[in-house]
Amino acid sequence: MQRSKVHRQANMSHELHESAADEILRLLRHLTRTNPYFALWDLYKRGVGEHSVAGEWQQFLQEQLGPESEEEIDFASAMVELDKLLTTYRQHRLTLPMLSFERICFLHCVRGAERMAQTRAILGTLTAELAACTFA
């Protein structure tokens, strides 16, 4: 009887981790559809993987956004780090920190210096939580 209880708990834990990975996949798909800066990264990343011929990421951004779009280029560059972190969370089936999903969904809607401040805060939170899980 004790063994079946442990087995059920393990299954529940596995289901929780699966749903965390599914949630992150859903978030990544949402970002690709709704966040034009994340979509640029996705386009660039696919081009590198499929054709193995692509310019530098920064050059690509300057061509797409214009060299005078420094704030937009910085934000688009941060999307690379966000993608890496979300991919790591998904691979390890880790749950995102509370409210991260919602905050990430709407980052591209924030304007001005506040956008990068919030982006850095989210990236810092994801990194700190990941480090805590790694050393736990």
Each residue's pLDDT tens digit, 75-118 = 999 999 999 999 999 999 999 999 999 999 999 999 999 999 99
- The domain ranges of the chain are 17-135
In the structure, what pLDDT confidence band is assigned to residue 15 with cuts at 50, 70 and 90? very low
pTM strictly above 0.85: no
Question: Are the beta carbons of 31 and 78 closer than 8 angstroms?
Answer: no
Residue whose structure tokens are 């480090």: 131
| Structure tokens that stand for 124 in this block | 């810092």
In the structure, what pLDDT confidence band is assigned to residue 130 with cuts at 50, 70 and 90? confident
State the chain's mean pLDDT as an integer: 83
Whole-number Å distance between alpha carbons of 107 and 125: 14
Could you count the other beta carbons within 10 Å of the beta carbon of residue 15? Answer: 10
In the structure, what pLDDT confidence band is assigned to residue 59 with cuts at 50, 70 and 90? confident
Q: Which amino acid is at 107?
A: L
Evaluate the CA torsion angle 56, 25, 93, 107 in order and state its sign.
positive
In the structure, what pLDDT confidence band is assigned to residue 50 with cuts at 50, 70 and 90? low
Whole-number Å distance between alpha carbons of 13 and 119: 30
∠ at Cα 112 (89, 23), nearest 5°? 20
In the structure, what pLDDT confidence band is assigned to residue 132 with cuts at 50, 70 and 90? confident
